[in-house]
Amino acid sequence: MADQPKPVLSVSLSKDGVWSVNERGPNRTAIAYFPSKLGAMKHAVRVARAKRRCRVALIGGDGAVRLARDYDSEGTGVETP
């Protein structure tokens, strides 16, 4: 199990002002759109907690990761800049 890639949920603001949550994993790719950052972050955390292992990353306007957090099955996370 440890050799499988960890799914990543990236939260970013598009040029037209809509927040998106992109989910990329070994067997799944999905995208959801939200009018607010809070709605997008709530969705990303909810999905991450439902998975065994997952990473949530907040992507800045320049494409750089501003903040990332790993979630595991116990629900505890480790923040990484």
Starting at the edge strand found earlier in the chain, the sheet holding 65-71 runs: 29-34, 19-24, 8-13, 54-59, 65-71, 77-80
Which helix (H) or strand (E) segment holds residue 77: the answer is: strand 77-80
Three-class secondary structure assignment of 33-60: EECCHHHHHHHHHHHHHHCCCEEEEEEC
The amino acid present at 68, given as its one-letter code, is A
Residue 1 pLDDT > 70: no
Confidence of residue 75 (pLDDT cuts 50, 70, 90): very low
Task: Indicate whether 77 pLDDT > 80.
Answer: no
Residues whose CB is less than 8 angstroms from the CB of residue 78 and which lie 6 or more positions away in sequence, other chains included: 69, 70
**The model scores a pTM over 0.85:** no
- Residue 61: the pLDDT is 87
pLDDT at 26: 82
Per-residue pLDDT reduced to its tens digit, 10-59 = 999 998 999 999 999 888 889 999 999 999 999 999 999 888 889 999 99
